[in-house]
Chain A
Amino acid sequence: MILKNISLKNFTNYEDAYCDFDENINIFVGDNAQGKSNLLESIYYISTISSSKKNKDRELIKWGRDYFSISAHFFNQHGENKVSVKVVGNKKEVYLNNYKIEKRKEYIGYLITVIFNPEDLYIIKGEPALRRQYIDNELSKTDVEYFVDSIKYKKVLEQRNILLKEYKRKKVSDELMDIWEEQLSKYGIKIINKRLELIDQLKEISKKIHYRITDDAENLQISYQTNIDIENIEDSYRQLMKKNRQKDIERGYTSVGPHRDDLEILINGISAKKFASQGQQRTISLSLKISEIEFIKRKTGEYPILLLDDVLSELDKNRKHKLLEEIENKVQTIITTTDLNDIENFFIDKGKIIIIQDGKVL
């Protein structure tokens, strides 16, 4: 996929901006708080119709204005497309090639971006929720069914949790518990199966990439962690939920299911979360992001657009070289930096430099 250009009106600190992109490497340069990350965020926004930082839409409107709009031209395997979004107060209108998009799921897969920022270190270091989010993000970008099922799963989970609390106060019929558990396991099983399929592919991809990036020094192994027996998922899931019902009632939440699972990351056989150095963890997060790109390529037939938010300064020269080798002439990449010195010359030689100053693209 290639992003050709983007225009913004009243988006964050931009009043009116337009930017053309090179199909290889683009570098946004500017001091802090000039709008580099906001411009990158607008690209992410137009690809998912939502913020990467979970900001509310209205928070993205320029101070003192009552709407923002973003429009972009891009190429994918189906040809040239135009997408535009306008947010006025709580209302959002999205058009793809002049057809109105009613639901977000109709737009999934048209323009895919992968964003890599310094906080991605926490995929390795942080809580399980962040690793689940990494998995969910990856699947939701390419799989409409997964996207819809995970929304439904969350709704049913909420309902069961409320029922658990109610059970404690007054008797709820076991039949009713059965029904909600049946619904929960229906969506939960679909979600876990899709995640297993993903991890199955991703573990091979990421192992290879990580060997390349570390010059064969580190063996990266990832695996899906769940207390459900995945060989016999249909029965095991339901039995486990039934078995835990009493415990769940006491605690007031559901202890089994994809919302409790985790991704185990091992480096040379030991836990990367506990034992890897900060530098190693950073490299693993790089490998996982490049793996995400490769997975999307396998699944959709084309590379997504890579957004690197302030991460190059965190990588050493060798890692930067490796990253470039992985993306060169394949993946359109957009980089932000405060200092061109942080970016090796080989990036600069191949890239288009775009200067950002005070909410303007110069």
Chain B
Amino acid sequence: MIGHIKPLINLIGELKRLPGIGPRSAERIAYSILDMDEDAVASIGKALMDAKLNIKRCPVCFSITDEIPCRICKDQLRDKSVICIVENAKDVIALEKAGNYKGFYHVLEGSLSPGRNIGPDNLRIKELLERLDKGEFVEVIIALNPNVEGEATAMYLNRLLKPFSMKVTRIAHGLPIGGELEFADEMTLMYAFEDRKEL
């Protein structure tokens, strides 16, 4: 009976800590690990530890990195006049994949949410203000998620940034590229209209 196999119970328990992994998936993954070669399992274990030990927060922009400061913050060729504020390191990676933005980033490590006990002091806002004070930035681009927490955070930042007399912009909401108009939902269309621009 499974209840007596301690290491298996342990493994399932640990896997369940991962996001999106429920009891069922944890069990399935655990059994497939049991079926793997020892080498393969060792290499999963090593990859987990390697990632944990070698990936750090960049002390400048708070994105994730394996060098300090990170490659983006180090890059002398990037545009020193723009800084883009995002919630998570994942967002930096997404924007970098898009590739057209050449400025710097600042990761807040979350968004304001009293419900999850996240206030301004839990975000990298103090560090942001210090950077803006010292840097040569002339434009701040706010690229937070379009949910209520992201909107509240954007509004809070907008107020804080007023004294800096910089240009503060936010990225547009709108139609996905390649999407046909008729398949877009009404809300997306409405935002797309509000954010329209001159040709």
Interface residues of A (CB under 8 A from B): 99, 103, 105-106, 144-145, 148, 152, 155-156, 158-160, 162-163, 166, 172-173, 175-176, 178-180, 182-183
Contacts and interface: CB of A to CB of B under 8 A. Distances in A.
Given A103-B185, A183-B151, A145 B113 contact: no
B187 A179 contact: no
Interface stretch (B11-19, B25-33, B152-160): B152-160
B23 to A, nearest CB: 12
A159 B113 contact: yes
Contacts of A173: 120
27 contacts: A105-B186, A106-B185, A144-B185, A144-B186, A144-B187, A145-B190, A155-B147, A156-B152, A158-B115, A159-B114, A159-B115, A159-B148, A159-B152, A160-B114, A162-B114, A163-B114, A176-B112, A176-B120, A176-B156, A179-B112, A179-B152, A179-B155, A179-B156, A179-B159, A180-B114, A180-B152, A183-B148
Contacts of B148: 152, 155-156, 159, 183
B59 interface: no
B119 interface: yes
Contacts of A159: 113-115, 148-149, 152
Interface residues of B, number: 19
Contacts of B156: 175-176, 179
B79 to A, nearest CB: 30
A-B pairs, top 10 by smallest CB distance, nearest first, are A162-B114, A163-B114, A144-B186, A155-B148, A106-B185, A179-B156, A159-B114, A156-B148, A183-B152, A179-B155
Nearest to B151: A183
Q: For chain B, what secondary structure do more than half of its interface residues adopt (helix, strand, loop), or is it mixed?
A: helix
B167 to A, nearest CB: 21
A162 B115 contact: yes
A3 to B, nearest CB: 24
Interface of B: 112-115, 119-120, 147-149, 151-152, 155-156, 159, 183, 185-187, 190
A99 B182 CA distance: 13
A166 B114 contact: yes
Nearest to A156: B148
Q: For chain A, what secondary structure do more than half of its interface residues adopt (helix, strand, loop), or is it mixed?
A: helix
A183 B190 CA distance: 19
A301 B132 CA distance: 54
B183 to A, nearest CB: 8
A105 B185 contact: yes
A172 B115 contact: no
Contacts of A158: 115
A53 B83 CA distance: 49
B189 to A, nearest CB: 10
Contacts of A148: 187
Nearest to B154: A179
B165 to A, nearest CB: 19
Nearest to A106: B185
A183 B114 contact: no
B191 to A, nearest CB: 10
Given A105-B187, A176-B112, 13 more contacts: A105-B186, A106-B185, A144-B186, A156-B152, A159-B113, A159-B114, A163-B114, A166-B114, A173-B120, A175-B159, A176-B120, A179-B156, A180-B152
Contacts of B112: 176, 179
A180 B120 CA distance: 13
A172 B159 CA distance: 17
A155 B112 CA distance: 13
A163 B112 CA distance: 11
B42 to A, nearest CB: 34
A162 B148 CA distance: 15
A258 B156 CA distance: 24
B51 to A, nearest CB: 30
A281 B151 CA distance: 43
B186 A145 contact: yes
A145 B187 contact: yes
Contacts of A105: 185-187
B102 to A, nearest CB: 31
A263 to B, nearest CB: 26
Contacts of B114: 159-160, 162-163, 166, 180
A106 B183 CA distance: 9
Nearest to A155: B148
A179 to B, nearest CB: 5
